[in-house]
């Protein structure tokens, strides 16, 4: 933002630095317009985009995107050394450099290919089959949290905590999400609905998380 608006200053492209002193004794000069260095493996760039490019092609594409780049190393250890100017504050990670290469190369020039992860996980596939069979028998699926409070899991079910049965969260965000348990969550939901409907409920919940 500073580099953009500096073009409209009375003295173009000139800004006044400010030193900010903190109570702990540290001080920093703002804005920080220094050029920083970033090292990105060539294999990361080419594998992520899905095209075969050599180091010279990658550096040429990055130069088109206002990033000064040069080759570092060779072979499997080949990487691209990128100097990120203050005008490119959007470049924060190696993925940003890879994205710039893809943009300069042209998304339409990247050959289309099917992702390698189209097959569902065996556990999810089994869960879907079980869910379908239960629904065909007249049960309504209940989708709840997989976390509940200790009170809902033990005291309200007249059970004692033996410290080994339930998976207890070490640092819960609230008292409502302390223990991993589908059973208690389903009973809690059915109990709230049953008070209003006053009729028989056939509910179920399937899950492969626990």
Average pLDDT, the chain: 84
Rounded mean pLDDT, 1-9: 83
Tell me the per-residue pLDDT of 68-120, one tens digit each, with 9 for 90 and over: 999 888 877 899 999 988 888 888 899 999 999 999 999 999 998 877 767 78
Give the pairing of strands 140-141 and 203-204: parallel
| Class of domain 122-204 (CATH, top level) | alpha beta
Share of the chain above pLDDT 90, in %: 29
Does pLDDT of 187 surpass 90?
A: no
What pLDDT is attached to residue 209? 52
Strands (E), 42-88: 68-72, 79-84
Identify whether the C-beta of residue 186 lies closer than 8 Å to the C-beta of residue 142. Answer: yes
CA torsion through residues 150, 155, 158, 160, sign = positive
Q: Max Cα separation, the chain?
A: 79
Range in 43-47, 88-92, 114-118, 121-125 the model is least confident about: 114-118
CA 169 to chain CA centroid, Å, is 22
Range in 41-50, 88-97, 168-177 the model is least confident about: 168-177
The domain segmentation of the chain, as residue ranges, is 1-32, 34-112, 122-204
Identify whether the C-beta of residue 100 lies closer than 8 Å to the C-beta of residue 61. Answer: yes
CATH architecture assignment, domain 34-112: 2-Layer Sandwich (3.30)
């Amino acid at each position: 933002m500073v580099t953009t608006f500096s073009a409209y200053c009375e003295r173009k492209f000139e800004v006044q630095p400010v030193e900010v002193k903190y109570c702990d004794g540290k001080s920093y000069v703002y804005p920080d317009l220094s050029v920083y260095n970033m090292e990105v493996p060539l294999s990361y760039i080419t594998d992520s985009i899905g095209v075969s490019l050599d180091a010279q092609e990658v550096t040429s594409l990055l130069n088109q995107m206002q990033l000064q780049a040069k080759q570092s190393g060779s072979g499997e250890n080949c990487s691209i050394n990128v100097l990120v100017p203050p005008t490119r504050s959007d470049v924060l990670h190696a993925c940003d450099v890879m994205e710039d290469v893809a943009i300069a190369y042209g998304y339409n020039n990247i050959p289309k290919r099917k992702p390698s992860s189209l097959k569902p996980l065996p556990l999810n596939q089994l869960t879907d089959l079980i869910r379908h069979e239960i629904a065909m028998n007249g049960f309504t699926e209940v989708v709840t949290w997989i976390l509940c409070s200790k009170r809902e899991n033990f005291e309200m079910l007249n059970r004692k905590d033996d410290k080994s049965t339930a998976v207890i969260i070490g640092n819960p965000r609230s008292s409502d999400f302390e223990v991993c348990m589908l059973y208690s969550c389903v009973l809690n939901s059915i109990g709230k609905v049953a008070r209003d409907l006053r009729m028989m409920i056939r509910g179920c919940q399937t899950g492969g998380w626990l």
